[in-house]
Chain A
Amino acid sequence: MKPFLVQHFLEISSQKFPDKVAVKHGTESITFADLYQKSGSLGYGLQGLGIARGARVGILLDKSIAQVLSILGTLKAGFIFVTINPILKEKQIRHILKDCGIRLLIASEKYRRPLEHILPDTEVEKIIWHTELDEMIGACQDKKPRHIGTGEDIGSIIYTSGSTGLPKGIVISHRSLIEGARIVSGYLQITEHERILGLLPFNFDYGLNQLTATLYKGCTIVLFQFFMPNSLLNILSDEKITGLPAIPTIWSAVFNPQMCKLDPGQRYPDLRYISNTGGKLPVPIVKKIRQHFPTTRLFLMYGLTEAFRSTYLDPGEVDRRPDSIGKAIPNVWVEVINKNGKICEAGEVGELIHGGACISKGYWNNPELTARAFRPNPLLPAENQFLDRVVFSGDLVKKDREGFLYYVGRMDAMIKKEGYRVSPTEVEELLMGHQDVFEAVAYGIESQMAKNEIGALVVAKGEIDIKALTNYCRQNAPEYLVPDRILVMDEFPKTETGKIDRPRVIKEAHAKYDR
């Protein structure tokens, strides 16, 4: 019957590979047997605090073995873990603590001072400091928590960065976490021999997937905090990393000659796969990855936390269609539908909907928003649509004749210009094709003459000539894609997950340039 809870992955792997290293972080490491034993002791200790089953436990720790232990101990106690990224601002941390009513917090001492400001407004009653974890584990040695749960129980609430407003809590069951680990490990062909780089944070659904896949397959995760691109390239060789999951920002740093020195002759014989998610990878970067890592398989993935991952592009297709997000992952279907709820023809732009596995339970405390994103399946006969629940992604995509999908843009960000529906992504990719452009953001400017304009903001690699850039756009794209105004910015503010914070970029540009 097992596994139906996430911790069962660990139980099974600790029997198969007791002495193998499960998690490595710098010079520290922990075996599967130790991880099983210690997380059990911690779970027992947490249960002893007299908190009801299903309580939310906040985890405010750096990426570390202690963080992994806290996640697993929380699950074993029958609680729900909520990992909080320490680089979030006070306002966001306070919101998360309050929104899901966290009473127990596991935190690093170094956040003691900011927490003094944050906690009085919240329901937090008890804090277990990082240094007290070992004590609790030691005191409960050889003890096991008693917990009977089901796969439908909530395992985690993941707060998304949310480019507008405060973060939303996405509620994820054990079953979804298990399905996600199985499906992704399946198509990435992860085996017990893998050494996965744990570069992405665990408060990000795909970052957490590296941990669940490790527990499932009995392989090793090497935790790593990204600061400098050269250190990333070094750790790939030093740790003989075989799997590198990353996001676009990391690749822009690696391929920025001012930040990173690339040795074109360097080879990575151990590196079996690279996966990208968390935003579309611009085609020039796809090509650079293929050049620099010619023997590594590149998986381009697409997904949103509400439904974990939806599609991936087979590595064999990357050179042929580097701009595609591929097809549905196993045990999932996706469709492109138009405003009338009908399936789009090839080439027609519509909204992506996701059905099948990996669908989350909804937004914590928010039935209205949940009803908007999680809806009855519009493709079933009307009287039975309620039997199946699908996710409406809010993402516009199109499909080609062979069924490959292409990301077009967010539904709420489309620019209408001269009768065309222009996607900001299209304009941004056009700009980034120019050699001097490092990053770009495009957006619509409403004007009184009923003629909308395209505004573009760019960060240059060095010096940049706006006139030359506009001419370049004209030469390479139809007129309706050419930005009407281009402004140069020193840098773009980013969200805590490293994505460009678009609303803030646009606001700052206006503050800077409008009289």
Chain B
Amino acid sequence: MQNMIQTLAQYIKDTYNAELESQENIFSAGIIDSIGFVNLIGFITEEFKIELGPEDLVEDNFYSLERIAQFISEKKE
């Protein structure tokens, strides 16, 4: 779980040159927009080898790095 959060935080740092706390709200942090979001989803599916369908793509599953990591773990089970 911590590793996943770190990988995601590194991606945000590499892509946007910004730091994001693990519980910080991604949508209101103002560093990522809808297109950035599509890219983030692409990164998640490749990096963590999971498949996401349209029913997974709701804000509830992605609002913070911690929540994304939790969601990925659920999907992997």
Contacts and interface: CB of A to CB of B under 8 A. Distances in A.
A120 interface: no
Interface string B21-64: 00000011111111111110010000000000111011100000
Contacts of A228: 34, 37, 57-59
A230 B57 contact: yes
Interface stretch (A1-9, A30-38, A254-262): A254-262
Contact of B31 (A87, A231, A498): A87
Contacts of B33: 87, 227, 496, 498
Contact of A260 (B30, B39, B54, B59): B54
A434 to B, nearest CB: 21
28 contacts: A87-B32, A87-B33, A108-B30, A110-B29, A110-B30, A111-B30, A114-B18, A227-B33, A227-B34, A228-B34, A228-B37, A230-B57, A230-B58, A231-B58, A231-B59, A253-B34, A253-B38, A257-B54, A258-B54, A259-B54, A260-B54, A261-B53, A261-B54, A261-B55, A490-B42, A494-B35, A498-B33, A498-B35
Interface in A488-508: 490-491, 494, 496, 498
A87 B59 contact: no
Contacts of B58: 228, 230-231
Contacts of A496: 33
Contacts of B35: 249, 494, 498
A253 B29 CA distance: 22
Nearest to A87: B33
Nearest to A494: B35
Contact of B34 (A111, A491, A498): A498
Interface residues of A, number: 27
Contacts of A491: 38-39, 42
A206 to B, nearest CB: 17
A225 B39 CA distance: 17
Contact count band on B: 20 to 34
Contacts of A494: 35
B30 A62 contact: yes
A306 to B, nearest CB: 25
Nearest to B28: A62
Contacts of B29: 110
Interface of B: 18, 27-39, 42, 53-55, 57-59
Interface in A223-271: 225-231, 249-250, 253, 257-261
A227 B55 contact: no
A498 B36 CA distance: 10
A501 B29 CA distance: 24
A259 B57 contact: yes
Interface in A201-236: 225-231
Given A62-B28, A87-B30, A491-B42, A227 B59 contact: yes
B33 to A, nearest CB: 5
A80 B64 CA distance: 37
Q: Which of B29, B30, B35, B36 has the most chain A CB within a 10 Å cutoff?
A: B35
Nearest to B29: A110
Contacts of B42: 490-491
A86 interface: yes
A261 to B, nearest CB: 4
Contacts of B37: 227-228
A74 B34 CA distance: 29
B34 to A, nearest CB: 5
B19 to A, nearest CB: 8
Interface in A74-107: 86-87
A83 to B, nearest CB: 14
Given A108-B30, A491-B38, A498-B33, 19 more contacts: A62-B30, A86-B30, A87-B30, A110-B29, A111-B30, A225-B27, A227-B27, A227-B34, A227-B37, A227-B59, A231-B59, A250-B34, A253-B34, A258-B53, A260-B57, A261-B53, A261-B54, A498-B34, A498-B35
Contacts of B36: 87
A86 B27 CA distance: 13
Contacts of A230: 54, 57-58
A393 B33 CA distance: 29
Ranked 3 nearest A-B pairs via Cβ: A261-B54, A494-B35, A86-B30
A108 B28 CA distance: 11
Q: Which of B18, B28, B38 has the most chain A CB within a 10 Å cutoff?
A: B38
B27 A259 contact: no
Nearest to A232: B34
Nearest to A495: B35
B14 to A, nearest CB: 14
A162 B75 CA distance: 41
Q: Which of B32, B54, B58 has the most chain A CB within a 10 Å cutoff?
A: B54
Contacts of A261: 53-55
Contacts of B38: 253, 259, 491
